[in-house]
């Protein structure tokens, strides 16, 4: 069995998903969970792109112990110096240097000749090696590049000191056979290739990212670059959960293995969905809520008799615990805490008390509280300071298709409540406008998704939304048995995140 390294780029390429803006504290929370999952490399950001990215990389570098922390840099001196500074506290730092290699990129983006790109890449890798012992080199758009140039470029990078060479299908153009052939050609042709790790980074524009990644691994690549839930530019990156479970399920046939603790996939997938405001599609492989559901009577009969009739993976293998009705209004703290631990939530005493209070509130609305309900409560915790707006009351009225009106009351800790009203095209629109007025922040709802957390007419509704505030789009998430309350909570969560971004930017300007 050949061990494949997992390079997670959720926090860098994944954050390039339109509308995704993660705060440094949120990035750190995801990074800690990625390390618990067992990923080998966490690409934490692009330090020279913004102050926020620099601080996020620096914070993750100081916190992460086992995994390598990578920072992205172009073949520019200031990029590399900024990446090196952000990684100063890392136990295992890596600078990831990239350029472009396809003719269209060289002509229209870089406006450089092949020789100039090679010379610039050599200088960049050498500079990065002055600061770290681990340097990854990538040639963007490799699949549409002349293989001869790819060979020259990778040879030059290896000679300059690169320890990892990455082959990106940047625009998702490849099909598996030709991508595998490219990797085999690199293995057979590039001098010094046996001294370095060969990595593959595929995008999903044609829906082939996972297939191409596996083709590259089978052709001799040692590292897969992936993102949770497949998020990223355009149609996204290769999904971590798909590569992980293909190898876990078919490892014997593939001759491959990873060191991932796959039972941690479900919880960290839900965390990423909540913090980015991007819901996971119901039929998404591995982590979609329908991934282990069976509607057909024939399928249900087979599953009841023997799960392997229609399931090639156990739900528990990816952190999906079969839903169990165990708690109600008479359940006490001890039973609740035991269930939290069984579901994988290790929380501080104060957090457990707050969740227990919310659990008891929920039991007044629902007769039976499911594991999915408890997960929703636990994952609703916000990352940020203690100066967030909280929803106190809301009232909405709407008459069959006519304009709706909403009145809301919100409060910040230690301050007087603020009450505002607004009209809108519907109940949700009216609520959002009233919340924007009360918070003093003009927001525009650009994405809204609602689904049921559990079954039954008293099920909790889960809302994920994205809100534009100024020139930034932020995500929010809310859960309640009342879908309008869930909508209000999600929108207010997004305003709170926008507020923290504005506070950070203000502090940076003052500094």
Same domain as 479, residue 372: no
Same domain as 499, residue 417: yes
How many CA atoms are closer than 13 Å to the CA of 118, on its beta-carbon side? 14
Rounded Cα distance between 440 and 139, Å, is 46
> Is the four-CA dihedral 356, 357, 362, 363 of positive or negative sign?
positive
In a domain, 383, yes or no: no
Same domain as 349, residue 260: no
CATH number for the domain harbouring residue 437 = 3.30.160.270
Rounded Cα distance between 339 and 327, Å, is 9
Same domain as 424, residue 497: yes
In a domain, 101, yes or no: yes
Rounded Cα distance between 234 and 244, Å, is 22
Residue 291 confidence (pLDDT): 80
Same domain as 139, residue 251: yes
Per-residue tokens: 58: 């620096």
Per-residue tokens: 447: 């994405």
CA-atom Rg of the chain in angstroms: 24
Is there a contact between 422 and 405 (Cβ–Cβ < 8 Å)?
yes
Confidence class for position 295, pLDDT limits 50, 70, 90: low
Count the domains in the chain: 3
Taking CA atoms, 167 is separated from 137, 170, 199, 312, 494, in Å, by: 9, 9, 6, 31, 37
From 378, 406, 423, the end of a domain falls on: 378
**Cα angle for residues 24, 475, 399 (degrees, 5° grid):** 155
In a domain, 309, yes or no: yes
Is there a contact between 509 and 503 (Cβ–Cβ < 8 Å)?
no
Predicted TM-score of the model (pTM): 0.83
Residue 114 confidence (pLDDT): 93
Pairing status of strand 443-452 against strand 461-469: antiparallel
* Nearest by Cα to 207 from 248, 246, 239: 239
Residue 336 confidence (pLDDT): 82
Residue 357's contacts (CB-CB under 8 Å, 6 or more residues apart) are none
- Mean pLDDT on 55-81: 97
Rounded Cα distance between 168 and 165, Å, is 10
Mean pLDDT for the chain overall: 89
Residue 137 confidence (pLDDT): 98
3-state secondary structure of 4: coil
From 378, 412, 443, the end of a domain falls on: 378
Taking CA atoms, 288 is separated from 241, 371, 412, 451, 477, in Å, by: 11, 16, 35, 12, 17
CATH number for the domain harbouring residue 354 = 1.10.238
Same domain as 100, residue 137: yes
Torsion angles phi and psi, residue 462, rounded to 5: -115, 125
Residue 163 CB neighbours (<10 A): 18
Confidence check: pLDDT of 27 > 90: yes
Q: What is the pLDDT of residues 397-421, one digit of tens each?
A: 987 666 899 999 999 888 899 999 9
Same domain as 443, residue 351: no
Is there a contact between 156 and 117 (Cβ–Cβ < 8 Å)?
no
Per-residue tokens: 77: 């001196």
Same domain as 127, residue 46: yes
Rounded Cα distance between 32 and 24, Å, is 12
Same domain as 110, residue 79: yes
In a domain, 289, yes or no: no
Rounded Cα distance between 27 and 271, Å, is 11
Same domain as 332, residue 200: no
Is there a contact between 277 and 477 (Cβ–Cβ < 8 Å)?
yes
Confidence class for position 64, pLDDT limits 50, 70, 90: very high
Same domain as 142, residue 53: yes
How many CA atoms are closer than 13 Å to the CA of 58, on its beta-carbon side? 13
Confidence check: pLDDT of 370 > 70: yes
Confidence class for position 216, pLDDT limits 50, 70, 90: very high
* Nearest by Cα to 276 from 449, 12, 26: 26
3-state secondary structure of 428: helix
Q: What is the pLDDT of residues 123-134, one digit of tens each?
A: 999 999 999 999
Domain boundaries, position 334: 297-378
Q: What is the pLDDT of residues 232-246, one digit of tens each?
A: 999 999 999 999 999
Chain centre distance of CA 180: 27
3-state secondary structure of 352: helix
């Amino acid at each position: 069995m050949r061990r494949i390294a997992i390079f997670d780029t959720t926090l860098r390429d994944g954050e390039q998903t339109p509308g995704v803006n993660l705060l440094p504290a949120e990035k750190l929370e995801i990074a800690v969970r990625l390390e618990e999952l067992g990923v080998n490399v966490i690409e934490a950001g692009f330090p020279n792109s913004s102050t926020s990215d620099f601080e996020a990389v620096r914070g993750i570098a100081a916190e992460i112990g086992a995994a390598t922390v990578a920072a992205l840099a172009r073949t520019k001196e200031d990029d590399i110096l900024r990446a090196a500074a952000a990684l100063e506290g890392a136990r295992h730092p890596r600078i990831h240097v990239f350029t472009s290699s396809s003719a269209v990129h060289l002509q229209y983006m870089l406006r450089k000749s092949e020789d100039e790109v090679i010379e610039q890449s050599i200088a960049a890798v050498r500079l990065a090696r002055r600061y770290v012992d681990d340097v990854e080199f990538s040639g963007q758009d490799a699949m549409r590049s002349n293989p001869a140039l790819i060979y020259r470029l990778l040879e030059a990078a290896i000679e300059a000191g690169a320890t990892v060479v990455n082959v990106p299908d940047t625009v998702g153009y490849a099909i598996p056979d030709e991508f595998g052939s490219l990797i085999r050609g690199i293995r057979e042709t590039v001098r010094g290739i046996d001294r370095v790790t060969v990595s593959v980074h595929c995008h999903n524009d044609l829906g082939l990212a996972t297939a191409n990644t596996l083709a590259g691994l089978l052709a001799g690549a040692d590292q897969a670059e992936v993102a949770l839930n497949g998020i990223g530019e355009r149609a996204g990156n290769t999904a971590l959960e798909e590569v992980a479970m293909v190898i876990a399920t078919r490892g014997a046939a593939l001759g491959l293995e990873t060191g991932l603790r796959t039972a941690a996939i479900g919880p960290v997938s839900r965390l990423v969905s909540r913090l980015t405001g991007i819901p996971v599609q119901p039929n998404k492989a591995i982590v979609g809520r329908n991934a282990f559901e069976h509607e057909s009577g024939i399928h249900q009969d087979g599953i009841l008799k023997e799960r392997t009739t229609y399931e090639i993976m156990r739900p528990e293998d990816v952190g999906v615990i079969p839903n169990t009705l165990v708690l109600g209004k008479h359940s006490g703290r001890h039973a609740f805490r035991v269930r939290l631990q069984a579901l994988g939530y290790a929380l501080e005493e104060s957090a457990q008390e707050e969740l227990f209070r919310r659990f008891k509130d929920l039991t007044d609305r629902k007769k039976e509280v499911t594991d999915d309900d408890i997960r929703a409560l636990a994952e609703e915790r916000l990352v940020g300071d203690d100066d967030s707006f909280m929803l106190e009351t809301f009232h909405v009225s709407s008459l069959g298709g006519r304009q709706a009106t909403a009145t809301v009351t919100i409060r910040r800790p230690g301050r007087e409540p603020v009450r505002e009203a607004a009209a809108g095209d519907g109940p949700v629109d009216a609520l959002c406008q009233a919340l924007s007025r009360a918070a003093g922040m003009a927001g525009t709802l650009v994405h809204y998704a609602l689904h049921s957390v559990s079954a039954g007419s008293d099920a909790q509704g889960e809302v994920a939304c994205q809100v534009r505030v100024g020139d930034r789009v932020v995500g929010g998430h809310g859960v309640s048995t009342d879908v309008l309350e869930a909508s209000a909570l999600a929108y207010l969560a997004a305003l709170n995140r926008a507020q923290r971004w504005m506070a950070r930017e203000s502090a940076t300007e003052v500094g």
